[in-house]
Amino acid sequence: MNLIQNIKDKKILELIQEANQITLTKHGNNITLERAIFLSWWCDKGDCSFCYMSSQKPLIRDPKKARRRVEAILAEAEMVRRMGWNIEFLSGGYGAFTTSEIKNIATEIHQITANPVWLNVGITSELTAYGGEVIGITGAVEVANPELHRKICPSKPLDDINAMLTEAGELGFKKAITIILGLGETPEDMQYLWEIIDHQGIDRVIFYSLNPHPDTPYADTPQPASLYYAGVVAATRIKFPKLEIITGTWVDNLANIGPLILAGSNGITKFPLFKMFGTRYGRRVEEEVHWAGRKLMGTFTDPACLEGESPRDGLEPFLKRYIKSCLNNKTEYKV
């Protein structure tokens, strides 16, 4: 099957049908809920043209103030554990936390969830600092076409991301990449993405669709079509049957979830967790998974999961705040 030609010919249903069979055979029936935990709202690079942080950089005078409290980060990890979600990765802009600070946070989260964490903390030459608290390293590729990449992400060169991923593999870490669809790529550009997956032996790809932020050049750009998104995911699943695929869907695009699952997604992400929990939007996510014929791991709606013992001192005020936010959602979340 010529996968790129099939995307171009819009034979999306054929791609999805084959991808679904492969996914069920190789991965089974479960769908995970994934939560990226952010460390800060600051990025020293701040020049990726689609990124929210690029619009915030000029507004933040003191980067230290854009760091989250460590207790808030750990409390969020505990809430994610209680809800049965996975931590997609720890994510932070460049320059907000030092490597040893990130390692300490990862170590505490490992203790809370009993799972080592994925990192997505930028290009670093300090991977040797990490150990058993980290399972894998994420390269934020975003767009795999080298020419587009140079324009869209001028300060994080693909060569440097590749070098980091190579080192990550040599040190025994798993490898992931993030890809954003809708930044101007074409179906032909899938060849670049698949080359990276193949060449690097990538274990996990996280696809997002463009979320056009005000004050960026993409403010008026439409998000990619749902069937294009599903076609790209399905073609990637067919090409790489064992790959773990996570797909991101913002709250204004929940109808994408069912097709993305049939296209080969193992997990779904990119939700405003505490705002959506228990609302009809959270229930909609569960319905999408149900009607894709899959079993959802964790919950977006069950308040019984929220209470529990704090895993360590100092987290209680933050846990209470998150639980309150979840329980206050009885009015509907506004998009």
- Residues that bind ligand SF4 in the complex, under the rule CB under 6 A: 43, 45-48, 51, 53-54, 93-94, 140, 153, 156
Whichever of 48 and 276 has its CB closer to ligand SF4, that residue is 48
Q: Closest CB to ligand SF4 among 37 and 230?
A: 37
H-helix or E-strand containing 322?
Answer: helix 316-327
Smaller CB distance to ligand SF4: residue 44 or 167? 44
Separation between Cα atoms, residue 322 and residue 251, nearest integer Å: 19
Nearest CB to ligand SF4, comparing residues 32 and 40: 40
Let me know the angle formed at the C-alpha of 195 by 190 and 196, rounded to the nearest 5 degrees.
100
Amino acid identity, position 294: R
Q: Cα–Cα distance between 111 and 5 in angstroms, integer?
A: 47
User: For residue 323, which amino acid is it?
Assistant: I
| Shortest Å, Cβ 94 to ligand SF4 | 6
Which residue, 142 or 203, has its beta carbon nearer to ligand SF4? 142
User: For the chain, what's the residue count?
Assistant: 335
Minimum CB–partner distance for residue 224 and ligand SF4 (Å): 18
Q: What minimum distance in Å lies between the beta carbon of 120 and ligand SF4?
A: 9
**What SS3 state is found at 91?**
strand
Sign of CA dihedral 281, 286, 288, 289: positive
**Helix or strand holding residue 139 (H, E):** strand 134-142
Residue 195 has φ and ψ, to the nearest 5°, of -65, -45
Residue 203 backbone zone (phi > 0: left; psi -120 to 50: alpha; other: beta): alpha
In the bound state with ligand SF4, the residue whose beta carbon lies nearer, of 57 and 110, is 57
Instruction: Please state the closest distance from residue 273 (CB atom) to ligand SF4, in A.
Output: 20
Task: Please say whether the beta carbons of 172 and 127 come within 8 A.
Answer: no
Nearest distance in Å: CB 119, ligand SF4: 13
Nearer to ligand SF4, 153 or 168 (CB): 153
Backbone angles phi and psi of 34, in degrees to 5: -120, 140
Instruction: State the SS3 of 44-65.
Output: CCCCCCCCHHHHHHHHCCCHHH
**At its nearest, how many Å lie between ligand SF4 and the CB of residue 89?**
12
In the complex, the smallest distance separating the C-beta of residue 207 from ligand SF4, rounded to whole angstroms, is 15
Measured CA to CA, the distance from residue 292 to residue 245 in angstroms comes to: 16
Minimal distance, residue 286 CB to ligand SF4, in Å = 30
Task: Centre a 10 Å sphere on the Cβ of residue 264 and count the other Cβ atoms it contains.
Answer: 29
User: Measured from the CB atom, is 55 or 115 closer to ligand SF4?
Assistant: 55
